[in-house]
Amino acid sequence: MSSHPAQPVEVQPAEAQLAEAQEPETPHLDFQGTTPYEDYVQADVLTHLQHTRSDDPGEMVFLVTTQVMELWFTVIVHEWETAAKAVRSDDVPTAVAALKRSVRELEALNASWRPLGQLTPGQFNSYRSALGEGSGFQSAMYRRMEFLLGEKSASMLVPHRGAPRVHAELEKALHEPSLYDEVLRLLARRGHAIPDAVLSRDVSARYEPSPEVEAAWTSLYAGPENDELARLGEALTDVAELVWRWRNDHLVATRRAMGAKTGTGGSAGVAWLEKRAQKNMFPELWTARSHV
């Protein structure tokens, strides 16, 4: 027998044993090939698309911010196309849900101006020449956003003639009813007096306000607030407000960075943006409020 006294056994408190049992296991780290995260997100592709053209360190944030904007344009187009399809099928709840998601996405898109919103002329000029004739109005995905809002213009397809796939997608969007066109057709199906001139209009042309459409929205807003068409109208109004804010933030950022000079790509710069910022999307949704 051993002459050494037995060593006391240290007993962990029950709480410690429970905590140890609940500790997360080490995540799976060993994969064949790329990680599942990379396969899904393609982060390696995204983070290697930044090819600056100047030595100025500020160009990187300008380029990345612009690329982030393009990604938000893409998801917002997806939401509005989802909403338009749902409206066409008389599925108002699905349309409202898509529009509400797009509102949160528009808020994130608008926040993209923050890294660029206080550029001085000197900071912007340090890499402006690297843009060449590049300009935001040449964005095909932003143009699809505008077309869905009813801001149609066949001339805006011209810059994309050299990219057949992009041109075809834009031409298709030009000749399809806008989101607002689909909503007005829904109102007509629900018994509201939308004139034939609106319902059968050339959807490839820019939408023009109608007194009869204004009267229809006035009637809806004078009724019960829980009416699903009134809720649809408010979701559209939220979208319109944030589009207006996007345009104004763009205007202010441009005015700070370059004043009234001609914009990149030969646009009128601030003068053109000022004209755009004065427009309201879905105009009768705004003017009807004066009559409720």
Task: Give the dihedral of Cα atoms 215, 217, 218, 224; nearest 10 deg.
Answer: 140
Residue whose structure tokens are 């004139």: 195
The answer to whether 77 touches 170, Cβ cutoff 8 Å, is no
Closest CA to 171 of 138, 198, 143, 149: 143
- Is 264 known to sit in a ligand binding site? yes
**In sequence order, which ranges of the chain are alpha helices (DSSP H)?**
14-22, 36-41, 43-46, 58-88, 92-111, 121-128, 140-148, 164-174, 179-189, 196-199, 211-222, 228-258, 270-277, 283-287
- Is 128 known to sit in a ligand binding site? yes
Which SS3 state, helix, strand or coil, does residue 279 take?
Answer: coil
The answer to whether 170 touches 201, Cβ cutoff 8 Å, is no
| Number of residues that make up the chain | 292
- Is 52 known to sit in a ligand binding site? no
Question: Tokens at residue 78, please?
Answer: 């997806």
User: Which residues are known binding-site members for heme?
Assistant: 250
User: Which residues are known binding-site members for substrate?
Assistant: 128, 264
User: Which residues are known binding-site members?
Assistant: 128, 250, 264
